[in-house]
Amino acid sequence: MDWLGIGVFILSIGFAVMVFYLIPVFKNLTRTLGATADTITSTEKELEKITNETTSYITYVK
């Protein structure tokens, strides 16, 4: 093996290690972003309820 082949081999091993290291990170990130999306969805629903109640109170006062 010449030096270029050894260098490519070392880089491929480093890349494989990096990929295996990042798999759990990306899984946790996916779970966190899913929870964030659920929170935003529930917040939108609550904001819509509050807006409807406020509108009905303003209409009642007029």
**Structure confidence at residue 26 (pLDDT):** 97
pLDDT digits (tens, 9 = 90+) for 2-40: 888 999 999 999 999 999 999 999 999 999 999 999 999
Give the 3-state secondary structure of residue 5: helix
Sequence-distant (6+) residues with CB within 8 A of 1 are 9
Examine the pLDDT at 56 and tell me if it is beyond 70.
Answer: yes
Query: Could you give the CA distance from residue 50 to residue 44 in angstroms, rounded to a whole number?
Result: 10
Kindly report whether the global pTM for this prediction surpasses the value 0.85: no
Examine the pLDDT at 57 and tell me if it is beyond 90.
Answer: no
Structure-token match 């093996």, residue found: 1
How many CA atoms, within 13 angstroms, populate the side-chain half-sphere of residue 37? 6
Sequence-distant (6+) residues with CB within 8 A of 9 are 1
**Structure confidence at residue 1 (pLDDT):** 65
